[in-house]
Each structure stands twice: as structure tokens, then as C-alpha cells.
């Protein structure tokens, strides 16, 4: 026992003792074998010691790590992401118990793969009467058009996830099988990361098995089924509005896969390609996080806007790995689960090691009668997960909770369409320690566990899980429901886990970052433009409220320069009109979300575009973009001044991140081109507004302010602002990073470094335009520059921006169906 | 009866469309009691690819790819087809609805026209309880299936108003049902839903009607364009039987089968993707003439 008072073993013992006194039979800790109980006690003591015995502090530590990792999620209908509810106490499972679960999951994965294979090839199970046809066709995830297509190496499944639960007697059973997407696997990884950051060396001290090798195996398994030896694999996402998009982006980055949406891909001659700035590049495989329904609008659901036209052809032709194979979801239905015990005996010659909760499909007369007779002891569920009469939203209802009317309604509906219903036994869940209201209390839990094929095609089980601690009864609804918490699950060994060897398995060194999809290039470019636009609006606000270092240019709209500036804000849709007091105009331009050009709205667009680049931007970027606007009060101009200055500092920090932390990849070039393009166009606009032939001293001061060139001017000239020198500095001086010519030069440099699609050595359109622009501007000087030159430059910049879009970005495809019926 | 069919569709796009990929479902799929010969498809401007594709159901799909920008597209098909049969009537030994529903659940067929595919809700045919309540009295489990379905077709025919233009290809069945109006597509969806609600396998069919009626008979509604009706699986002995809710009858030799699926989406005559195009207008000309008549004129 430690003698250090801070290491308070009493507090730790206090946690365990108080918890065990409250826990009932079936609790994971209370039921633990003596060896496992030692682990639990040790863990709780160390956790307690770390926070001087206060569970609330521990919960807070872990929550802060989760936030720092950028973990967040949405429930259906949520506009904003929510903070990730991660419980601080992991579940512990010993090696012996885990081996049993592993064997059970491996067996199920193999069985399910064979069932899917049979359904989409010979259909012998149906023909021989082992599986009713109406169980296959009832699934909304069954796609008859996939019949006869075959995946590489016959692997219909590459991954498999199961929701499993532990009953009061310690028996593990399966609540649901998942093969459409392994939602939760990324969260499990992040939960582990957050927990290990918050708890120091605790996990290592407990001999916790590591998760990383599982992901190496998963990636190896996907790659092994691709035709080429160094395959290009995409993670196909439904897009940023999907609930698990953040998870998908994280996994793509973690596994080194290309995060792609349907728009990024194109099928040509039955082969799949990704559109990149280097043209079309072959794709060898997809890790699919999109339902089959949406994959190809020409073969599945014609209403899909997120799919890839003719992706079906690429599947049918062969040579494309897709994990899991389209249509695999057919085996997820509860109705089919009722047949798995029989199918296991028929196909594997063995009983299921890890059985389902008992399920009766009402499509059979005997089972229907059974369910009807025992409705009080059963949960009535939707056989295929869809809405059914009496089961709103497809959610199950315990028969015992039904009143006479709803029971009669349900019974009648079950008579008319019995095949839409299953009866399932009521599940009682085992509990585990969680921190509730600052103290340890038992909460019911289920685990989502993950299985994947490795490079040899063998099934591997992730030694960990996404644990869901139930906030309510319907444990199977979604990954996380209202009021639920998640937790990590640790598989602990008796002996220390050997660290992974880095020798042998290390990849060959490479220095290129992989190719850039056209849509990512598009997003990066516009991200740059919007950030730059935001900065300019902020500078305009700051100039209006009197941020000028010219003392006599106060917060009044008396001068024509100020009036023009406000008018410009109105043209940029940052304020509704140019009338009103300075304070309220600037407050609107800063914080009025209804003005599409306000700082608040622009930052919203930045966050939105950034969301689509989640796999490419650092978490520091997110922290800055998500910070709320500083407080300001329109009646107190100094608060407006302060808020706009602080926002300009944030933008500078974003610029700093891009300059110092982004690799000089093509992605960085597009981001920087966006900044340069917007800055150059704004520069032309400002010179024509405030640097015209009749510009006043006020005008020129504003121009120097907005282009952040006051200091540069003063270091060059002792006099006040004069037209030709100001024009030279803000438009033409090649050393001034705010000058138009500087932007033009950088744009030309970037474009010259980008890949070309031509093999005849001739310049592409963007190159031609950028070089011409730079060549036009560079010989000019402040005294020869005319306003026609500025107008010409602005025109050329717009043309260049369009040419960049045409050459490098996506052309959007539209769906239309044609009505020919009378 | 042998027919000569010509079907011409002209699409005008308000702005040019390019990179178009269309699925055409215009060629009659093989179906018992019917044959098709001399099928010709001509498309103007000529597509770069015309390809036959699997549809999953009894439907023939042709893929057109037109890369170059177009503002007008003309699609014309012509073929000869023979339709046998007609004269299907309810029989005293017809199975009941309950018997057919039970048989459908245990049928082991997984082919394109297997009853199991047509038992469940589909994207365009959700199982709306309101339709069940409206049709339920006709569809008790002990009623003979063909009589009951004919009653249902007649009820739709008499209680819905046929109004071209009030609905379109995208109108949800719930909307057409609530308003009790629409065209053949809406009526067929209502009937499919009502039948599936009592556990019967019901399919959506697209096809043609004879343009001019035989002497002394009334012209059928829906003969100016493609038509839609319902197939009901009436048990292993009687198989699939067509019901036309737009005309309130069992289909006969004036109904020419083109394609069958779970709902409109599976058999839409034409759908696809293209870039551009702000709006479109469609002209359709259909002529389905008995062959003797053509020979005479």
C-alpha cells in the first residue's frame, strides 16, 4: 500500500467497495473471476488516485480529451454536433472470456458470408427449403440485380460488426448483425485514444491488448482482394451530412485511404476511376460506408444524388473490390437471424458458439402461433427493420406494455401480414460501472464488436469494442441514443502485451502525399477564398469603426471614403443597406447571420467547406474555426474594434497554420491559390474604389489600411499618401505580399507546378491565363498604371478563376427522370 | 391478336444537356402468352452506346449514352407483337385470398417473376394503412382472390377520377389516393398497395393498350401513351393475372405487356442522368394497331 496521502488507496478501495455494495448479480465487475477482480480493483484504485477520489473529476478529464480529439456526433435531426459522451471507466474482459467471444464472432462472420454468397449465386438455401424466399426478398437491402455478380476471391464480406450483450448469468448473445457499415469502429478507436491520454500508463499496466494491429489487418484484407499489388482504395462516404462522417474521415486518415464521395468517382468502360487534378486515376477497391440503394442511380435507386453512375457495371465486370459487396445487407434482418441456428448446422455442421437472442419469425404458422400465445413475455419487432402496422418507425414493443386496443391492432396486423413481424425474447442486460452524477453506479451495457478479414482472408476480431451504456431501453435503435454514454472496453491479459515490432512490417519510404481528388482541390480553393474574404470584411469593419492609425479618421461616415466603404459592404451583402449608425452597421457586418456576407455567415461557410475536408485539415484548424465570435456591443465602438481585431488575429492564425504546418502538396497549392485569387480580386476592387485618378488623401489612407500596407508605405515615404506611390505599393510592388502583382506571380508559380494533362508540352488554359496576367502587370509602375489596367486585371482574374474551375474541379451531374405515361 | 406498335417520344430541353446516360424500358420483356418480333429502336441524335442490361425483374433495359450536347432527343420504337388469351374470368374453384397469401410465403422461386419479390412495400408503394382501410372490406381472407381483385379494380375505376396532368411520375401514392384522382400509374400503385396489405404478391406492369377499340366497343382509357396496370399472383395454379384499375377490368388481348416490377421505379420507360438542362417538354405518340387493320388500309 502506498503511504503517500495523495495516492489515497482508501479512496480507490472506497470506489470499489461502494460500487460492489450497490451492484446486483450479473454485473461485469461483481461477477468477475478472482483474477479479473484484481484487475478491476487495481484499475479503480489507480483511477481514483489520479483524481483524489472524485469520480466527477475523472469524468471531466476524459471528456476533455474527447473534445480535444475533435470527437462529436449527431443524432438524427440534430443541426449542430454534440459533445461526445465518453464514460471514464472502461469495461474489463479477461483473455479467456474474450477467446470465447472471438471464436463465436469468427464463426458467425464465416456463416454470414456463406449465406450472402448463396443468396447472390446459386440460391440453394432457398431451393432446398432451408431459407424461405420471402425472408430474402423482405429485406430492403436485398438487390436482385446483384444475383450472379461475384466479388474478388468470393469474399462477399470484408467486415462484420455485431451488437452483443451479456445476460445475468454471464452468457453472451448477439442482438444484431451488421454488415452494411461498421459504424462505431472509428469511435471505438477514438474512445481508446481519449482514455489512454487521460489515464497515463494505466492501460499498459493492465496488459490491455492493443487495437492498432486490427486496423492493419483490416487494411491488409481490403488490399489483398484488389487486383493491383499497390492498390488505390477509397473509403466511399455518403458525405458530410451523414451521422458518422467524422468517424469515416478519421478512419480514412488513420488507414491511409482516400476519402471519396460519389461525385469524386466515375465509371468508364466498366472500370472505376477517381477524378483528380491529374485526370482520372484507377481505383482498385472501395470500403463502402454507403447503402447499396444509393450506390448507383442507374442500377439501384434512381433518386440517389450521392452515388456513382454505373458503379454496378464495375461490380458486374469484376476486378473491383468492394467491402462489403453490394446487397450484403440482406442478412441483417431479424427475420433471418431466426434461421441462423439451423443454417449454422446445415452449412458449418456446428451449433452457433455465440447465439442470437431467441427470435421467432411470424411468417411461419407455428412460430406465429407461439408468438401470439406468449406475447406478454416477448418483444414484438419489425422483421425487416421497417415501419410496420402497430410498430411505429419499426421499433420493437414489449408485448406486456400494450394496452387492449393497441394489442388488438397489432394482432390484427400480424394476421394480415405476419411476415413483417418477429417475436424476440426480452433481454436483460448485465451492468458495468459508470460515473453518474459524480459517483460510480451500475449501468446496463451492450458492446458493438468488430471483425475483419486480414490479408490472408482470415477473420480477425478487434480486441476491444464500442461499449454503449444505456440511457434507455431500446438498446438496438442506433449506435447512440438520447441519454446514452459510450465507454471503452479493454481485453486484458495476464501477462504484458508485447509491443508491435516495427521491423519487417515497415513500409517503403515515400515522399509524395498521394494524389488530390478534384473535389478536395475545389474545396481547398474555396476555403482559401472564403477565409480571405472574411479577412477583408473584417478589415473593412475595423477601418470603419476607426481602426486606422490616422488619428483624425474617427468613427463617422462623414467622409466620402467612409460612405463608399459602407456601400461596398452592402454590395458584398455584409449589411442590408448603407443607411444607419456606424455601430449597428458594423455589428451587422460582424454578427448578423442573415447577411450572407457577414463575418458570422462567412465563417459558417468556412466551417461547412472545411467539414468536407475533414480528413485533410488539422484539429487546430477546427478549434479556431469553431470558436464563437468575440462578444461585442453595437453601442460601444471599442468592443467592435476589439472583436474585429481579434477575429483578424484568428484569421492570421489560420494563415500561420497553412504556412507552417501544411505540407507543400498540391492541396496546399489550391488552398493558397484561393487566398491569392480572392486577395487579388479584392485588391483590384479596392484600387478602383479608393485609388482612382481623383482619389483624396482619405481615400488613399483607407486603401493603405485595407491592404495592410500603412507600415510599408511609411518605411518608404516620409510624406503623406500620394497617388502614384500608393498605387505602386498596393498594386505593383513585387515585394509586397499584399500587392496585386504579388498574388498574380504566386498564382502563376502554383499553376506552373501543378500537373498537366497534355502530353504535347503546350500550356493548359489556366497556365496561359496566369502567365499572361503576370506578364501584363509586372512591367507596370505606379505612375504608368491606369484604371483600365486595373479593370483588365480584374477581368483576367475572373477568367482565370473560371479556367481553374473548368480544368481542375468537378462538373456536377444532375438526375432527371422522364415521365412518359398517360 | 397481332399488333403493330409504333411509339415515338420527342424530348425538348430548355438548355442543352450533355453526358447523358438513359435507361430505356420500352422493349416488351418475354412474358407467357405473348411474343414480340421485328423490334427496332431508333434514336436521334445517334447515341455513342446502346447496350442491353440486366434489370432484375421481367424488364428489358437498354442503356443509351449520348456524350455530345443535345437540346432535342427523339426515340422511336416499333415492333410486332402477338397477344394470346383474354377471356380470363373468375372460376368457382379459385383459391381464397388467405390460401394465396400462405402459398406466396412458402414459394421457393427466386426468379424475376417469383411471387416473393412482390409481397413487400417498395419505394413507390409504401403500405399505407389508409388504403387498407378503404379496400379492406373487399379483401377478406375467405374471398376468392380473382373476384376480390376485380371488385377492387372496379372500385378504383368508379371512385377515382381520371385526370391527366394532376399528377406526374413523381407523385407519391398517398397524395393521389387522398385526392382520389390521377392517371393509370397512380391507380396501379393504389391497387398494388391494397393487395400487398393483405399479404398478396402484386406487381406493377407497364405496357400498351390497343389504340382504337374493336367495332362496337368503347375506346379504353390510357391508349394515347404507355399504360400501367397490375399483376396479381393468384396461387401456383392460376399464376399471374392482370387487372386494369383504370378501366376496371381483367386484362385481355387488348393489353400488351412490356415490363413488370415492384412499382413504377422498376419499369419507368425512361430515366437517366445528364449534365445541364433547365426544363424539358415531352411529346409522345403511340399507335397500337391490329395487324389486319394495317394490312387493309
Contact A417 B280 (CB under 8 A): no
Which member of B127, B197, B228 has the closest CB to residue A821? Answer: B228
Task: With beta carbons less than 8 A apart as the criterion, state whether A633 and A543 touch.
Answer: no
Q: How far is CA A266 from CA A259, A783, B100, in A?
A: 15, 52, 46
Same domain, B62 and B136: no
Mean of pLDDT values over A389-396: 84
The whole-angstrom distance between A582's CA and the closest CA on chain B is 43
Task: With beta carbons less than 8 A apart as the criterion, state whether A396 and A380 touch.
Answer: yes
Mean of pLDDT values over A453-473: 91
Same domain, B105 and B218: yes
Mean of pLDDT values over B251-280: 90
Q: Establish if B31 belongs to a structural domain.
A: yes
Cell numbers 485526370 correspond to A279
Helix (H, G, I), strand (E, B) or coil at A3: coil
Q: Establish if B90 belongs to a structural domain.
A: no
Q: Give the orientation angle of helix A34-50 with respect to helix A55-68, to 10 degrees.
A: 80
Q: Establish if B274 belongs to a structural domain.
A: yes
Residues in chain B within 8 Å Cβ distance of A817: 169-170, 268, 270-272
What's the rounded Cα separation, in Å, for the pair A747 and A766?
10
Residues in chain A within 8 Å Cβ distance of B164: 822
Reading the block at residue A572, the C-alpha cell is 458584398
In terms of CA atoms, which chain A residue is nearest residue B171? A819
Length of chain A: 822
Reading the block at residue A3, the C-alpha cell is 503511504
Residue A503 pLDDT > 70: no
What's the rounded Cα separation, in Å, for the pair A619 and A625?
10
Q: What DSSP line would sit under A488-508, residue for residue? A: EEEEE-SSPPPPPP-TTTPPP
The whole-angstrom distance between A312's CA and the closest CA on chain B is 11
Residues in chain A within 8 Å Cβ distance of B73: none
Residue B65 dihedral angles phi and psi, to the nearest 5°:
-125, 120
Task: With beta carbons less than 8 A apart as the criterion, state whether A200 and A224 touch.
Answer: no
Which member of A365, A814, A820 has the closest CB to residue B277? Answer: A814
- pLDDT on residue A481: 66
Task: With beta carbons less than 8 A apart as the criterion, state whether A442 and A434 touch.
Answer: yes
Same domain, B259 and B287: no
Which of A397-406, A498-507, A578-587, B101-110 has the highest mean predicted lDDT (pLDDT)?
B101-110
Q: What's the Rg (C-alpha) of chain A?
A: 31
Confidence of residue A525 (pLDDT cuts 50, 70, 90): very high
Task: With beta carbons less than 8 A apart as the criterion, state whether B49 and B64 touch.
Answer: yes
Reading the block at residue A200, the C-alpha cell is 497515463
In terms of CA atoms, which chain B residue is nearest residue A301? B265
Mean of pLDDT values over A517-523: 91
User: Torsion over CA of B250, B118, A314 and A245, rounded to 10 degrees?
Assistant: 130
User: Torsion over CA of A217, A221, A226 and A232, rounded to 10 degrees?
Assistant: -30
- pLDDT on residue A479: 56
Mean of pLDDT values over B91-111: 96
- pLDDT on residue A611: 83
Confidence of residue A555 (pLDDT cuts 50, 70, 90): very low
Residues in chain B within 8 Å Cβ distance of A132: 105-106, 116
Beta-bridged to residue A821, according to DSSP, are: B226
What's the rounded Cα separation, in Å, for the pair A692 and A686?
9
Which member of A137, A813, A818 has the closest CB to residue B282? Answer: A818
The whole-angstrom distance between B222's CA and the closest CA on chain A is 6
Which member of B22, B119, B227 has the closest CB to residue A134? Answer: B119
Confidence of residue A558 (pLDDT cuts 50, 70, 90): low
- Strands (E) in A207-344, as ranges, are 233-236, 258-260, 265-268, 271-276, 279-282, 285-288, 321-323
Same domain, B44 and B133: no
> Domain limits at B183?
97-267
Contact B110 A134 (CB under 8 A): no
Consecutive H or E run containing B5: strand B2-24
Q: Establish if B88 belongs to a structural domain.
A: no
Same domain, B236 and B104: yes
Q: Which of B219, B273, B274, B279 has the highest number of chain A CBs within 10 A, making it the mutation to test binding with A?
A: B273
- pLDDT on residue A508: 67
Burial A505-536 (b: 16+ CB within 10 A, else e): eeeeeeeeeebbbbbbbbbbbbbbbbbbbbbb
Contact A419 B199 (CB under 8 A): yes
Which member of B102, B116, B222 has the closest CB to residue A137? Answer: B116
Same domain, B206 and B104: yes
Q: For residues A475 and A340, which has the higher predicted lDDT (pLDDT)?
A: A340
The whole-angstrom distance between A746's CA and the closest CA on chain B is 33
In terms of CA atoms, which chain B residue is nearest residue A810? B275
Residue A48 pLDDT > 80: yes
Mean of pLDDT values over A320-328: 97
Which member of B127, B198, B274 has the closest CB to residue A816? Answer: B274
- Tell whether A806 lies on the interface with B, counting CB pairs under 8 A: no
Choose the weakest-confidence range: A207-221, A232-246, B138-152: A232-246
Q: Which residues contact A396 (CB under 8 A, 6 or more apart)?
A: A379, A380, A381, A382, A424, A474, A476
Q: How far is CA A611 from CA A157, A515, A651, A671, in A?
A: 30, 20, 17, 15
Same domain, B129 and B21: no
Q: For residues A70 and A200, which has the higher predicted lDDT (pLDDT)?
A: A200
* Strand B34-44, strand A321-323: pairing: unpaired
Residue A252 pLDDT > 70: yes
- pLDDT on residue A502: 46
- Tell whether A144 lies on the interface with B, counting CB pairs under 8 A: yes
Q: Establish if B218 belongs to a structural domain.
A: yes
Q: For residues A565 and A73, which has the higher predicted lDDT (pLDDT)?
A: A565
Q: Which residues contact B57 (CB under 8 A, 6 or more apart)?
A: A144, B112, B113, B117, B259, B260, B261, B262, B266, B267
HEC profile of A753-819: HCCCCCCCCCCCHHHHHHHHHHHHHCCCCCCCCCHHHHHHHHHHHHHHHHHHHHHHCCCCCEEEEEC
Contact B282 A129 (CB under 8 A): no
- pLDDT on residue A510: 67
Mean of pLDDT values over B170-181: 96
Residue B284 belongs to domain with CATH number: 2.60.40.2250
Choose the weakest-confidence range: A76-90, A160-174, B5-19, B120-134: A76-90
SS3 content of chain B, % helix, strand, coil (to 5): 25, 40, 35
- Tell whether A419 lies on the interface with B, counting CB pairs under 8 A: yes
What's the rounded Cα separation, in Å, for the pair A370 and A416?
17
- pLDDT on residue A714: 92
Nearest partner of A690 among A680, A703, A707, A679, judged by Cα:
A703
Mean of pLDDT values over A456-478: 81
Q: Quickly count: other Cβ atoms within 10 Å of residue A346's Cβ.
A: 14
Contact A137 B277 (CB under 8 A): no
Q: Establish if B89 belongs to a structural domain.
A: no
- pLDDT on residue A237: 95
Residue B106 belongs to domain with CATH number: 3.10.620.30
Mean pLDDT of chain A: 89
Q: Which of B110, B266, B286 has the highest number of chain A CBs within 10 A, making it the mutation to test binding with A?
A: B110
Contact A818 B119 (CB under 8 A): no
Which member of B23, B269, B280 has the closest CB to residue A298? Answer: B23
The whole-angstrom distance between A347's CA and the closest CA on chain B is 19
Q: What is the pTM of this model?
A: 0.89
Mean of pLDDT values over B99-116: 97
The whole-angstrom distance between B173's CA and the closest CA on chain A is 15
Residues in chain A within 8 Å Cβ distance of B57: 144
Same domain, B279 and B223: no
Q: Which of B54, B111, B128, B246 has the highest number of chain A CBs within 10 A, making it the mutation to test binding with A?
A: B54
* Strand A359-361, strand A421-425: pairing: antiparallel
Q: Establish if B121 belongs to a structural domain.
A: yes
Same domain, B205 and B239: yes
Q: What's the Rg (C-alpha) of chain B?
A: 19
Q: Which of B120, B199, B233 has the highest number of chain A CBs within 10 A, making it the mutation to test binding with A?
A: B120
- pLDDT on residue A356: 93
* Strand A91-94, strand A159-166: pairing: unpaired
Q: Report residue A808 CA to chain centroid gap.
A: 24
pLDDT in tens, A418-434: 999 999 999 888 999 99
Q: How far is CA A494 from CA A35, A206, B117, B171, in A?
A: 8, 8, 53, 64
- pLDDT on residue A798: 96
Residue A548 pLDDT > 70: no
Reading the block at residue A146, the C-alpha cell is 446483384
- pLDDT on residue A173: 95
- pLDDT on residue B179: 97
Q: Quickly count: other Cβ atoms within 10 Å of residue A229's Cβ.
A: 8
Residue A396 pLDDT > 70: yes
Q: Domain tally for chain B?
A: 2
Same domain, B162 and B109: yes
Nearest partner of A637 among A705, A537, A545, A558, judged by Cα:
A545
Which member of B114, B119, B206 has the closest CB to residue A419? Answer: B119
Contact B108 A143 (CB under 8 A): no
Euclidean distance between the first and the last CA atom of chain B, given in angstroms as a whole number: 18
Same domain, B258 and B276: no
The whole-angstrom distance between B232's CA and the closest CA on chain A is 16
Which member of A416, A817, A819 has the closest CB to residue B199? Answer: A416
The whole-angstrom distance between B34's CA and the closest CA on chain A is 22
In terms of CA atoms, which chain B residue is nearest residue A390? B129
Size of interface A-B (CB pairs under 8 A): 146
Q: pLDDT > 70: what percent of chain A?
A: 91
In terms of CA atoms, which chain B residue is nearest residue A149? B54
Mean of pLDDT values over A158-168: 94
What's the rounded Cα separation, in Å, for the pair B123 and B265?
8
pLDDT in tens, A216-235: 999 999 999 999 988 999 99
- Tell whether A327 lies on the interface with B, counting CB pairs under 8 A: no
Same domain, B18 and B113: no
pLDDT in tens, B203-254: 999 999 988 888 888 777 777 789 999 999 999 999 999 999 999 999 999 9
The interface predicted TM-score of the complex, written ipTM, equals: 0.94
Q: Establish if B123 belongs to a structural domain.
A: yes
What's the rounded Cα separation, in Å, for the pair A193 and A71?
11
- Tell whether A385 lies on the interface with B, counting CB pairs under 8 A: no
What's the rounded Cα separation, in Å, for the pair A808 and A670?
10
Which member of A420, A811, A820 has the closest CB to residue B270? Answer: A820
Task: With beta carbons less than 8 A apart as the criterion, state whether A427 and A167 touch.
Answer: yes
Beta-bridged to residue B52, according to DSSP, are: B62
What's the rounded Cα separation, in Å, for the pair A815 and A211?
42
Reading the block at residue B100, the C-alpha cell is 394465396
Amino acid at each position: 500500500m502506498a503511504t503517500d496521502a495523495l495516492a489515497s488507496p482508501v479512496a480507490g478501495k472506497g470506489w470499489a467497495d461502494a460500487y460492489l455494495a450497490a451492484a446486483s448479480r450479473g454485473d461485469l465487475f461483481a461477477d468477475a473471476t478472482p483474477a479479473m477482480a484484481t484487475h478491476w480493483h487495481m484499475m479503480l484504485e489507480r483511477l481514483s488516485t489520479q483524481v483524489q477520489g472524485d469520480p466527477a473529476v475523472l469524468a471531466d478529464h476524459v471528456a476533455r480529451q474527447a473534445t480535444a480529439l475533435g470527437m462529436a456526433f449527431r443524432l438524427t435531426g440534430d443541426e449542430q454536433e454534440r459533445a461526445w459522451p465518453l464514460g471514464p471507466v472502461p469495461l474489463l474482459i479477461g483473455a479467456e472470456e474474450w477467446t470465447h467471444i472471438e471464436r463465436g464472432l469468427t464463426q458467425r462472420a464465416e456463416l454470414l458470408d456463406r449465406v450472402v454468397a448463396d443468396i447472390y449465386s446459386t440460391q440453394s438455401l432457398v431451393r432446398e427449403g432451408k431459407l424461405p424466399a420471402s425472408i430474402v426478398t423482405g429485406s430492403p437491402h436485398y438487390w436482385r440485380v446483384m444475383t450472379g455478380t461475384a466479388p474478388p476471391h468470393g469474399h462477399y464480406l470484408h467486415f462484420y460488426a455485431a451488437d452483443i450483450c451479456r445476460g445475468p448469468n454471464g452468457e453472451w448473445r448477439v442482438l444484431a448483425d451488421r454488415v452494411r457499415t461498421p459504424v462505431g469502429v472509428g469511435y471505438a478507436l477514438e474512445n481508446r485514444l481519449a482514455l489512454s491520454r487521460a489515464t497515463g500508463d494505466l492501460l499498459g499496466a493492465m496488459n490491455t491488448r492493443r487495437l492498432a494491429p486490427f486496423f492493419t489487418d483490416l487494411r491488409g484484407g481490403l488490399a489483398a482482394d484488389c487486383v493491383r499489388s499497390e492498390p488505390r482504395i477509397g473509403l466511399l462516404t455518403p458525405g458530410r451530412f451523414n451521422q458518422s462522417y467524422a468517424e469515416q474521415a478519421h478512419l480514412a486518415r488513420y488507414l491511409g485511404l482516400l476519402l471519396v464521395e460519389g461525385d469524386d468517382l466515375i465509371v468508364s468502360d466498366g472500370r472505376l476511376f477517381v477524378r483528380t487534378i491529374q485526370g482520372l486515376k484507377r481505383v482498385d477497391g472501395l470500403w463502402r460506408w454507403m447503402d447499396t440503394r444509393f450506390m448507383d442511380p442507374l442500377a439501384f435507386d434512381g433518386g440517389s444524388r450521392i452515388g456513382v453512375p454505373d458503379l454496378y457495371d464495375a461490380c458486374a465486370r469484376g476486378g473491383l473490390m468492394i467491402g462489403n459487396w453490394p446487397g450484403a445487407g440482406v442478412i441483417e434482418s431479424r427475420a433471418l437471424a431466426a434461421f441462423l441456428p439451423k443454417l449454422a448446422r446445415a452449412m458449418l455442421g456446428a451449433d452457433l458458439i455465440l447465439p442470437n437472442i431467441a427470435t421467432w419469425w411470424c411468417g411461419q404458422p407455428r412460430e406465429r402461433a407461439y408468438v401470439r400465445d406468449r406475447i406478454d413475455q416477448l418483444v414484438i419487432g419489425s422483421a425487416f427493420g421497417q415501419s410496420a402496422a402497430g410498430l411505429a418507425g419499426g421499433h420493437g414493443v414489449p408485448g406486456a406494455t400494450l394496452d387492449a386496443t393497441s394489442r388488438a391492432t397489432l394482432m390484427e396486423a400480424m394476421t394480415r401480414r405476419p411476415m413483417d413481424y418477429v417475436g424476440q425474447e426480452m433481454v436483460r442486460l448485465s451492468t458495468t460501472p459508470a460515473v453518474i452524477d459524480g459517483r460510480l453506479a451500475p449501468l446496463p451495457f451492450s458492446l458493438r464488436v468488430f471483425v475483419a478479414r486480414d490479408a490472408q482472408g482470415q477473420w480477425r476480431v478487434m480486441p476491444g469494442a464500442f461499449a454503449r451504456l444505456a440511457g434507455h431501453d431500446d438498446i438496438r435503435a442506433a449506435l447512440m441514443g438520447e441519454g446514452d454514454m459510450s465507454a471503452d472496453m479493454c481485453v486484458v491479459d495476464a501477462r504484458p502485451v508485447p509491443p508491435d515490432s516495427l521491423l519487417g512490417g515497415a513500409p517503403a519510404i515515400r515522399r509524395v502525399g498521394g494524389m488530390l481528388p478534384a473535389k478536395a482541390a475545389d474545396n481547398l480553393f474555396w476555403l482559401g477564398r472564403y477565409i480571405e474574404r472574411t479577412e477583408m470584411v473584417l478589415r473593412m469593419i475595423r477601418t470603419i469603426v476607426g481602426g486606422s492609425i490616422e488619428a483624425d479618421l474617427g468613427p463617422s461616415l462623414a467622409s466620402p471614403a467612409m460612405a463608399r466603404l459602407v456601400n461596398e459592404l452592402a454590395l458584398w451583402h455584409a449589411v442590408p443597406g448603407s443607411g444607419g449608425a456606424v455601430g449597428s452597421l458594423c455589428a451587422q457586418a460582424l454578427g448578423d447571420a442573415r447577411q450572407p456576407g457577414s463575418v458570422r455567415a462567412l465563417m459558417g461557410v468556412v466551417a461547412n467547406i472545411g467539414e468536407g475536408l475533414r480528413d485533410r485539415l488539422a484539429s487546430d484548424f477546427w478549434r479556431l474555426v469553431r470558436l464563437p465570435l468575440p462578444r461585442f456591443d453595437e453601442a460601444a465602438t471599442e468592443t467592435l474594434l476589439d472583436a474585429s481585431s481579434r477575429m483578424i488575429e484568428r484569421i492570421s492564425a489560420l494563415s500561420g497554420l497553412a504556412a507552417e504546418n501544411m505540407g507543400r502538396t498540391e492541396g496546399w497549392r489550391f488552398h493558397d491559390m484561393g487566398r491569392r485569387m480572392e486577395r487579388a480580386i479584392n485588391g483590384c476592387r479596392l484600387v478602383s474604389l479608393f485609388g482612382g485618378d481623383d482619389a483624396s488623401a482619405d481615400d488613399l489612407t483607407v486603401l493603405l489600411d485595407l491592404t495592410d500596407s500603412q507600415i510599408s508605405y511609411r518605411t518608404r515615404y516620409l510624406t503623406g499618401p500620394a497617388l502614384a506611390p500608393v498605387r505602386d505599393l498596393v498594386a505593383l510592388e513585387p515585394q509586397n505580399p499584399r500587392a496585386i502583382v504579388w498574388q498574380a506571380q504566386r498564382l502563376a508559380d502554383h499553376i506552373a507546378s501543378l500537373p498537366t494533362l497534355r502530353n504535347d508540352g503546350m500550356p493548359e488554359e489556366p497556365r496561359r491565363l496566369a502567365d499572361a496576367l503576370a506578364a501584363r502587370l509586372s512591367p507596370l509602375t505606379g505612375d504608368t498604371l491606369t484604371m483600365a489596367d486595373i479593370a483588365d486585371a480584374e477581368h483576367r482574374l475572373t477568367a482565370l478563376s473560371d479556367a481553374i474551375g473548368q480544368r481542375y474541379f468537378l462538373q456536377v451531374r444532375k438526375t432527371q427522370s422522364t415521365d412518359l405515361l398517360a | 391478336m397481332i399488333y403493330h406498335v409504333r411509339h415515338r417520344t420527342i424530348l425538348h430541353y430548355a438548355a442543352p444537356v450533355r453526358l447523358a446516360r438513359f435507361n430505356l424500358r420500352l422493349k416488351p420483356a418475354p412474358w407467357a402468352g405473348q411474343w414480340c418480333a421485328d423490334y427496332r429502336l431508333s434514336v436521334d441524335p445517334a447515341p455513342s452506346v446502346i447496350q442491353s442490361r440486366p434489370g432484375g425483374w421481367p424488364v428489358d433495359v437498354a442503356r443509351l449514352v449520348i456524350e455530345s450536347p443535345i437540346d432535342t432527343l427523339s426515340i422511336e420504337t416499333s415492333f410486332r407483337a402477338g397477344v394470346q388469351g383474354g377471356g380470363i374470368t373468375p372460376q368457382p374453384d379459385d383459391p381464397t385470398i388467405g390460401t394465396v397469401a400462405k402459398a406466396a410465403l412458402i414459394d421457393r422461386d427466386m426468379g424475376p417473376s417469383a411471387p416473393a419479390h412482390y409481397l413487400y412495400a417498395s419505394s413507390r408503394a409504401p403500405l399505407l394503412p389508409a388504403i387498407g382501410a378503404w379496400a379492406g372490406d373487399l379483401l377478406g381472407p375467405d374471398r376468392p382472390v380473382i373476384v376480390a381483385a376485380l371488385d377492387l379494380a372496379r372500385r378504383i375505376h368508379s371512385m377515382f377520377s381520371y385526370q391527366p396532368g394532376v399528377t406526374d411520375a413523381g407523385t407519391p401514392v398517398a397524395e393521389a389516393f387522398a385526392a382520389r384522382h390521377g392517371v393509370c400509374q397512380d391507380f396501379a400503385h393504389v391497387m398494388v398497395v391494397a393487395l400487398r396489405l393483405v399479404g398478396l404478391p402484386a406487381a406493377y406492369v407497364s405496357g400498351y393498350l390497343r389504340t382504337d377499340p374493336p367495332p362496337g366497343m368503347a375506346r379504353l382509357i390510357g391508349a394515347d401513351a404507355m399504360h400501367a396496370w397490375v399483376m396479381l399472383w393468384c396461387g401456383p395454379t392460376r399464376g399471374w393475372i392482370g387487372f386494369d384499375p383504370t378501366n376496371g377490368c381483367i386484362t385481355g388481348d387488348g393489353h400488351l405487356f412490356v415490363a413488370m416490377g415492384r412499382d413504377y421505379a422498376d419499369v419507368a420507360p425512361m430515366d437517366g442522368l445528364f449534365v445541364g438542362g433547365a426544363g424539358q417538354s415531352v411529346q409522345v405518340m403511340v399507335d397500337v394497331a391490329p395487324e389486319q387493320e394495317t394490312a387493309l388500309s
